[in-house]
Structure 1
Amino acid sequence: MATTKTVILDALKELLKDEFKDFKWRLSNSAVSIPRGKLENADVHDVVDLMVQHYDKSDAGKIAVRILRNIKQNELADQLKGKLLEVPEDVPAGAGSSSSGTPVPAKTAGPTVTITSNGGTVNAPVVHGCNVAGSMTFN
């Protein structure tokens, strides 16, 4: 079964040496970039691992597609985008809940969160692009 990492890997393996170098350069010079030092000697496998670590899986795929378009690899970007749509989402067991108490599938792997409401509105914070060690409280 294909995973986000394997479909990104397969797409990046199609790039020539200079195209891959350009891909890494753009990855290190984007709005939410991966440090150049980590990418400097990274091979294709390392780059995919860094992308999934630095961004969540869904964003890693979207960023890969965008950078492929930026380096004029539109056909490869279209193929990757199509393959990403076929990848099943990673949903941890028991993750997600709605205000009615009915489980809702999570979009990405992460902590298990249960949110309940007794007829009111639930406003939940969104945390993205960071690693948290220990507890986190929102008031």
Structure 2
Amino acid sequence: MKLQGQILPRSLCVLTSQSSSSFFRASGRSTMEENQAQVMILLLEELNRLTEEQFTSFKWQLGRRMRDIPAYKLERADRHETVDLMVQHHPHQAVVFTTDIFRAIARNDLAEHLTQQLADINMGDLR
């Protein structure tokens, strides 16, 4: 499944920005789960904006900050798997780590864009 030209992880294939609310209501899932899914989509969209070299730098920085993610998993991870790893290991800090790393690799534009996207979906408290 694609969302604005981006391929989504298998775990999110049932979601789009317009269908996620109805999906979660129908499935009985909480708003927290819905918010987490939306955050995962935003993280993936921003990682897709990185060049391969920037993505490699991002993963190196991520490994230094999230030391509990096994290095071998991060080294082999594509963008989808990287989002999954961040959310699995640090569900409430994934956005903070991501924006900090974007700034560290001189992609302030992505840090600001992600922050704005979160504000647009009324989740500014996760910044």
Gaps of 5+ in 1: 90-106, 109-139
Counterpart position of 1:37: 72
How far the C-alpha of 1:32 sits from its partner, in A, is: 4.6
Partner of 1:77: 111
Partner of 1:122: none
Shift of 1:87: 3.5
Return closer, same or farther for 1:87/1:32 CA change in 2, 3 Å cut-off. Answer: farther
What is the CA-CA distance between 1:35 and the residue it aligns to?
Answer: 2.1
Tell me how far apart the structure 2 counterparts of residues 63 and 81 of structure 1 sit (CA, whole Å): 12
TM-score by length of 2: 0.64
Deviations 1:56-104 (CA, angstroms, capped at 9, x unpaired): 1x41111111100000000111001111223456xxxxxxxxxxxxxxx
Aligned to 1:15: 50
**Partner amino acid for 1:80?**
L
Out of 41, 56, 64, the position equivalent to 2:98 is 64
Per-residue deviation at 1:11? Answer: 0.2
Identity %: 37
Give, in whole Å, the separation in 1 of the partners of 2:66 and 2:74: 16
Alignment partners' CA distance in 1, 2:49 and 2:68: 22
Which sits farther off after the overlay, 31-40 or 12-21? 31-40
Match of 1:93?
A: none
Count of residue correspondences? 90
TM-score, structure 1 as length reference: 0.59
> Higher helix share goes to which structure?
2
Task: Give the superposition deviation at 1:33.
Answer: 4.7
What corresponds to 1:123 in structure 2?
none
Shift >6 Å, 4+ stretches:
none
Within-5 A mapping of 1:119-134: none
SS at match of 2:93: helix
